[in-house]
Structure 1
Amino acid sequence: MPEIKKKGLSLDQAKKAVIMIHGRGATADSILSLSSYLNIADYAILAPQANSNTWYPYGFMASDKGNFVALESSLKQIEEAVKEVTEAGITSENIYFLGFSQGACLSLEFAARHAKRYGGVVAFTGGLIGEILDATKYSGDFDQTPVFIGGSKIDFHVPAKRMQESEEVMKNMGANVTLKLYNDPEHTIRREELEWVNEQIFL
């Protein structure tokens, strides 16, 4: 079984859960360290660990064929984390997804493939995955789930255009999407982004 690191309240104590997804080359522990900056003290926090610290081998807009096997396996890993949460009695509207970079892409991709009312989806520098964005592979209704997508207007790894396309796809699926693009070139999580999600999503 793939490893899932945990922090915060236990699943049997918590009413809400957040699944935190690390970036390429990072670890579950590294994304868990972000929890101290978020209003999630009363949440169960789960962070799956990617095999060899990478969710899929190539860029998120590279050939679908090249990423297919690893991506499907990674999506299954997120599904297992969701299953563990729901089996503890936490319903989907109290489940949140948060990721950075490759983890942000995976967060959006998983949520869009399993659209329903969630507590929220937070993507720090990410977009939906695919060589070409194909809206037909997504189904379901987000029922006004709040979704945050943030990143640089000139990020080398994650083009602003794909973040904008992802916003449009998810809005068309009923999500309440906020996209914030920043002028700096940094591939990072900004203080302003943390403040926004604390005020608007992790209430």
Structure 2
Amino acid sequence: MLHKKDFKYNGTPVEQAKKALIMVHGRGGFAEDILAVADHLKVEDFALIAPQAYNNSWYPLSFMAPEEQNQPWLDSAIELLQLLERDLNQSGISSENIYFFGFSQGACLTLEYVTRNAKKYGGVIAIIGGLIGKHINTGNYITDFSETRIYLGTSDPDAHVPVERVHQTAEILKNKNARVEFQIHKDGGHAILPEELGRANNFVFGNSGALKP
């Protein structure tokens, strides 16, 4: 495995938590930075875990490059998330109590991982991301989400993630029995917006959507 088991933790210790949020940083990012986003989510009792990518990137090229051109890094990143999910399961946190948050390249990886391994998860938040590949290989997605709530937020336009790919991703997720909330922010920039975090709180975590002061 090219990506190493380098996990950063915050929140409730895994051994004491009943729920967990896996947070996946974007290209050039750091696990510690994506963990800080949890300050704006209603996850006070959650274990918070963020894997760190080797050289701060999960795979070398665009997520819309032919999949084989991002190998073997893409498979290694997917394997790392699978290892993390299994570790949490073995610690007593079931997959239906595991949530995911990803931004940009991390959102693409998150969506690809959960869709390849679709089951009843706690919920998924993907900010500016879509399923991976020049052409989406739906043959990789053989199970369904059992009504897992998935929030997709994106900007139109975005320099890295065409809104058409996010639309396409949303339809595939719905076809895999996910409950999808999809927001497009006109000229929102390549960033995580406060209104996205508020809507994600409401839809995925079932709260009022108000951010912490």
Q: Can you list the C-alpha shifts for 1:47-91, whole angstroms capped at 9, x where unaligned?
A: 000000000000000121210210000011111111111011111
Report the Cα offset of residue 95 of structure 1: 0.5
2:29 maps to what in 1?
26
The answer to whether the Cα contact below 8 Å between 2:181 and 2:203 also exists between their aligned partners in 1 is no
Structure 1: 5+ residue stretches without partners? none
Q: d(CA) in 2 for partners of 1:92 and 1:76? A: 16
Report % sequence identity.
43
2:67 maps to what in 1?
64
Report the Cα offset of residue 33 of structure 1: 0.9
Q: d(CA) in 2 for partners of 1:180 and 1:64? A: 27
Report the Cα offset of residue 128 of structure 1: 0.4
Q: d(CA) in 2 for partners of 1:30 and 1:38? A: 14
Q: d(CA) in 1 for partners of 2:101 and 2:53? A: 15
Query: Helix, strand or coil for the counterpart of 2:187?
Result: coil
- What CA RMSD, in Å, does the superposition of the two structures yield over aligned residues? 0.9
Query: Would you say how many aligned residue pairs link Structure 1 and Structure 2?
Result: 203
Could you state the TM-score of these two structures normalised by the residue count of structure 1?
Answer: 0.98
The answer to whether the Cα contact below 8 Å between 2:151 and 2:203 also exists between their aligned partners in 1 is no
Q: d(CA) in 2 for partners of 1:118 and 1:68? A: 27
Q: Can you list the C-alpha shifts for 1:109-150, whole angstroms capped at 9, x where unaligned?
A: 000000000000100100000111121211111010000111
**Match for 1:133: what amino acid?**
I
Task: Decide which of 69, 81, 84 is 1:81's aligned counterpart.
Answer: 84
2:54 maps to what in 1?
51
Query: Helix, strand or coil for the counterpart of 1:46?
Result: strand
Q: d(CA) in 2 for partners of 1:136 and 1:152? A: 28
Pairs within 5 Å for 1:163-178: 163-178=166-181
Structure 2: 5+ residue stretches without partners? 207-213
1:111 maps to what in 2?
114
Q: Which runs of 4+ in 1 moved over 2 A?
A: none
Report the Cα offset of residue 35 of structure 1: 1.1
**Match for 2:149: what amino acid?**
P
Pairs within 5 Å for 1:1-203: 1-203=4-206
Moved more, 50-59 or 132-141: 132-141
**Match for 1:50: what amino acid?**
A
Query: Helix, strand or coil for the counterpart of 2:72?
Result: helix
Q: d(CA) in 1 for partners of 2:26 and 2:166? A: 17
2:209 maps to what in 1?
none
